Structure 1
Amino acid sequence: MEERSISDVIEAYLKSILGDDPRIEIRRAEIADHFDVVPSQINYVIKTRFNLQNGYLVQSKRGGGGYIRIERVNLLDDDDVLQMLIANIGEAISEKDAAKIIKTLYEEKLISRREGDLMLVGVAKQTLNQANKQAEERLRARLLVALLTRLRYE
Structure 2
Amino acid sequence: MMNKEKVKGLLNNALEENSELFLIELKFLADNKIYVEVDGDTGVTLKECIRISREIEHNLDREEEDFSLEVTSPDVANSLKVKRQYTKNINRILEVKLNDNSMVQGVLTKVTESEIELKWKAREPKPIGKGKVTVNKSAIIQFENILEAKVKIIF
Mark yes or no: TM-score above 0.5.
no
Higher strand fraction (1 or 2): 2
Question: Which has more radius of gyration?
Answer: 2
Please state which structure has a larger fraction of its residues in helix. 1
TM-score, normalising length from structure 1?
A: 0.34
